[in-house]
Structure formats: C-alpha cells, structure tokens
Chain A
C-alpha cells in the first residue's frame, strides 16, 4: 500500500509537470496570436470617429461588411490590371482562383475547400479594408514542382545521333503539387491538392516541432496567419507556372 501511494505520487508529480508545460505552451501560443493581431490592427492607425468604415460592424451590419469585402477585392483587381504581369484573384466566397492579365480573366480554377486562420476573422473592419483593397505581393514562393521544367539536350554531332534522340514531353504535371506563397502582411498562402488526415497530423507535428524549437531557443514565438486552399493538381501547376516570381494577388475572404 505504501509502495503504491509512493508510486502514485511520483506519477502525479510528473503529470502535473507535463500539464504545466502544456499550459505554458498554450499561453505562449495565444500570446503570439494576440501580438500578431495587435500588429495587424495597428496598420489602420488610431481609430477615427469620422471614418464611415467604423459604422460597418461584422455582427451589426454583415451585409455592409460583405459589400466592403467585394469593394476591396474589386479595387485590388483594378490595381492589378494596371500591370503587364500575370496575377491571381482568389475569391473564397465564390471558391475560385482566377488568373488574370491586365484585368482579363484567362483561367479559372475551382477551390474545392479552404481554411484560414481565425486571426483574419478577428481583424478590425478598417484593417481588413486597408490590407485587402490592394494587391498583396508574393515575397517568396515554394513549390514541389519546377517553375520551368527545363530539359538540357546536347546538340547531336551528326544526323545519325540526331535520329536516335527521343522526345520526352514534360510529365511534371502528374506530380503532386504543393505551393506556398509568402505574401504581404506576413500571410502564408498554401495551395495543395489534397487534405489527408495523415498530412494534417504531420503538419501539426511539424508546427509543434517549430514551436518547441522557438521556446527552447528562447526566441519570440511568431504566429503566421495562413490561408489554405485545396485545388485540383493540374490547376495548381497551371497557377504556379503562370505566375511570375514577384507576382501579386488579390484576395477576398
């Protein structure tokens, strides 16, 4: 009996320590989000009583907020149309990702599913308008497929060697594609073609590793708002190869 109580105490202490650790992590995770939200909300500057945007409240005037989102989206697209480059307009309310050149829609990809960080629902209305009324610049891109599937071919020495050379058309399109766009306001846009339970757990595991690493190294825990889109694989490749390295995108949440 004595031995049992001693062991129970031992396990209880360990459990409390671990729970304490989890609570500490949860606290730092929340602080990171709150800090990011504060940073983003600061973009709108001091609240201006005369600003009509303050009259648009997400809860009190949801129709007004939807209209404002549409207005911001159109303004961003008009701004994009002034550029010669290919750009993209992501409309989550319509579940479409549209490639555009000079305001002309040239390709529409259907978004089959999407999620985004709750932080983007918590930002104030004036800040939403300020962020999304302008195109968001892609600062960095990452992809599992090549932007340009270049195949190097050494010129044949003669006609016999030339006849032996075979043509292998690009097959990269069949690879599973994942895109990551690091855009303005420190937002991450992830475009993938599937949402498997295993991959979600793996992503969470990876997130946990990065989080714990930041804690162990006494670094400030940084939160990155993320927009995740599920799009068919072919369309992801079309989008990635069409967009230039420093492309801009318009987003409507």
Chain B
C-alpha cells in the first residue's frame, strides 16, 4: 500500500521536475499518475491501494503530538486548560469528549441522530448513551428533515439540541428546515424566539472511496444563508474547542467534520473544558510571498504543497491560513495577509463554481486590489458530481495546489 503511494508520489514529483513548462506539465503529470499507477498495480497483481487515510496528517507540523505543543496554543491561554492535562485522542474521540462535556455542563443538552445511541457510524457518540442516559442520547428514525425540525423545536424552547446528520450528503432533506426555519427564526420573530441552542454536526468531504453520496462538501450552500454559523475544524484540538464553542454559541451552527480526519488526525487534546473562537481564522505558518487559504482536511494537502513549492523555488515563503469558520469568516486576517504577500491561493474540495473560494476571492479583490501581484487562484473540485473511481483526479491534490502557488509566483 505504502509502496505504491510512494511510487506514485515519486513519479509525480519527477514529472514536475522534468517538465517546467506549466501547460504541458499538468497533462503530463496526470498521464503519468494514472497510467503509471495502473501499470504498476496491474503488473504486480496487487489490488489498488485502500484509501480512507490522509498520508500527510501524521507527519504534519500542525498536529500537536506532545502536551507541550498542544498547550503552547495562544488561544488556550485564557481558557483554564493552559496548564492542565492532555490526552491522546483522534478526532472522533475529541468530538466525543466535547459532547460529553456539553452534556455534563448543560442539563438541557441532548444528543440525537441516526444510530447515535450505540456510537454512530463514526463512533463520535460512543459511550454517551451509557454515561448520560437514553433520554439524553438517543436514536431517531431515518428522517433528516424530522431530525433538524425536532432540534429547532427543542432549541426554540431554550434547550441545547446537538443533532447529527449521518453524512453531509444527507443534509439536503433538512435543507428547508435549516435555511427557512433555523436560520430565520430570530429574524422573523423580531427577536422573540431563536434557536440559539441548535448545533447540527455532520461528517463531510472526501474519504478516499465515498462515491457520489458520501463525499460531498456542501458548506457553500449554507454560507449563502444569513443566520447560520458554519464551521469546519482541521484537527482534534480544534474540533473539541470549536464544537464546544458551537454548542454554546447563541446562533444555530452547522459543524462539518471532515470524515477522513476522524481516525487519521491524532493529537494531545486538553482534557478540560475549553472553547476556541468562532469566526476567527488561524495563521498556521507565516510567510511573505503567497497567502494560501484552506479549511478542514484540505489544510494538510496545502501544507504538503507549500513544502514542495518552497523546496522547488528557493527563497519562497508561503503563509498558510486555516479559515476554521466559514460563516462568518475572518476576512480581516486574510486581507491583512494578502496585503502583505500580494498573492492568494484558495483551495477546497467542493466544485469551483459558486464555491466558497469565489466568496473569498471577491472580498480580497475588493480589499486588496492594488496590492495584488497575480490573479487569485482557486484550486477546487471540478464542476462535476463527486466521482467514485476518479476521486484522485477530482480532488484538489498536492500537485494542483503546488501548481497554483507556482502560477501566482511566476505570473
């Protein structure tokens, strides 16, 4: 498995070194990637590599694998966990921990969704029913519209409703409830009612083999809806802090969890109760030449792309920003960065047209027009349904992100 992945990466790296002319290089890279991978696999009679993991995560510099690294975070300084204990957790355990704290600290909080009582398909709610009782952690029928509607009703009564939609691809039956009921409750009642306590969690994004209905990233549909908060974390520490903040935030929140990170991302997570700020981006790596923006699992792809670009282009220094919250999003942090670097690359898995990158690009164009040195680059999924067999081709992978960085540098 690892061998073939490494071989693939080597081949692709090679292709990039050999072909410096960008137009030809890309097509060549893809040919090499597809054909070489296939030829090797067919020749050795091996099954194709299993996916569902993100190779970059384990080696990522942004993963806090020691207690010291974890607690160095400035955002934790005033939270009371700054000097506390940490525990090794993957992302589903961190999310579980956050919900456990929410249930323990708020007696009106309930967790519900399809199959959550026995842990949920991604094990995020494992053990919660046993710990807090079946009245507070319970299974619902398979009815997404019903789940969200029910959560809105609870939240309207002042309770804390933590709903799970099993896959973000299944959120669409609940689209009306989220867009027309949840998002507008406060506005249309003139502030008499609200659904402050509603949080909808949902696993999103590519997982290596999810196909059409288990891979989508529907965040942009919801960032188009005033009244909602949309969040997507990148790691266990982030997930726990952002989820607790989302649950306690006085607005309805949609919390998308990149499902590939559930097991792949492992950190030393503070065991105490802490929140990370919503609506704030985080600068993961400072740089002076190119601002690179992403969120969720795309961060690790961007990290690798930046490493490759900085190695390839001597003296290049890229700034990587994790948006974390998509509505509201931290336009100031991004604009400040672009005013410094003059170049912007945005990447996400969702299709390009009307994707979240378009919103970022427009805002930055408005605010940094005279400072821009190159056209803003969007590195996104194709405008096609999320494919099963062509996932690798579809996703904005490292090479694509690398090319975009190179493009803005060489413009």
Is B a genuine binding partner of A? Answer: no
Binding site for A on B (CB under 8 A): none
Binding site for B on A (CB under 8 A): none
